[in-house]
Chain A
Amino acid sequence: QQQVKQSPQSLIVQKGGISIINCAYENTAFDYFPWYQQFPGKGPALLIAIRPDVSEKKEGRFTISFNKSAKQFSLHIMDSQPGDSATYFCAASEGNTNAGKSTFGDGTTLTVKP
């Protein structure tokens, strides 16, 4: 019940294309959903986060879509760039009690081809 399932495991997109990564969760106590970007040799860095009181959140080229009834959320990267090539993790936590204690998905390795 604590798992966060993430797909796909890897993704190759052409420059300018849309990258889409999907996640699903089971634990209904989760109410904070951050996405992290990780470059090789670095720690995860928060990209964007959403709470379930909204269905979508956009920051620049990055958009989170959230479907509370389906317990699913996704990251869309518009106009993908080679510099976006990294590993992306979705995560979930009980934001009202311990937002920093996140359950991570397995990660998606994104490669954006020039």
Chain B
Amino acid sequence: EPEVTQTPSHQVTQMGQEVILRCVPISNHLYFYWYRQILGQKVEFLVSFYNNEISEKSEIFDDQFSVERPDGSNFTLKIRSTKLEDSAMYFCASSEGRTYTEAFFGQGTRLTVV
């Protein structure tokens, strides 16, 4: 069964460092998303991406964040200068279409900023 894969599963980084979280969406999917889940809290939308550009972003997705689809398979989330409060589980998701379609989530990357 096709699945969204994320690497690494756990990343520890020093405050102020840049991190790149990687995702391989399901191959025929066209819409891509990043969500985050701070420990014990709800899952929060960060950004959606289609046709090589951001289609929507939340207030959380400030200038410290960027997304990219560097090739035909990977989808990345970059955090330029990490803060302690960026510690969270980050989920990548993808969907085949834009309307009334299921979003498939990866297993997540746990980011710990120390």
Residues of chain A at the chain B interface (Cβ within 8 Å): 32, 34, 36, 41-46, 49, 51, 89, 91, 95-107
**Distance of A82 from chain B, by nearest CB (Å):** 22
With a CB–CB cut-off of 8 A, which chain A residues contact B55? Answer: 98
| Contact status A100-B42, CB under 8 Å | no
Q: A34-B102, A44-B105, A49-B102 are in contact. Are A100 and B43 (CB under 8 A)?
A: no
| Contact status A104-B44, CB under 8 Å | yes
A-B contact pairs, 7 of them (CB 8 A): A36-B105, A89-B42, A99-B100, A100-B33, A100-B94, A101-B45, A107-B43
| Contact status A99-B101, CB under 8 Å | yes
| Contact status A102-B103, CB under 8 Å | yes
Question: Count the A-B residue pairs with Cβ separation under 8 angstroms: how many?
Answer: 71
With a CB–CB cut-off of 8 A, which chain B residues contact A34? Answer: 102-103
With a CB–CB cut-off of 8 A, which chain B residues contact A103? Answer: 45
Contact pick for A100, options B41, B44, B98, B108, CB 8 Å: B98
With a CB–CB cut-off of 8 A, which chain B residues contact A43? Answer: 4, 91, 93, 105-108
B residues 1-40 with Cβ under 8 Å of A? 4, 31, 33
Q: A46-B102, A49-B102, A96-B100 are in contact. Are A101 and B107 (CB under 8 A)?
A: no
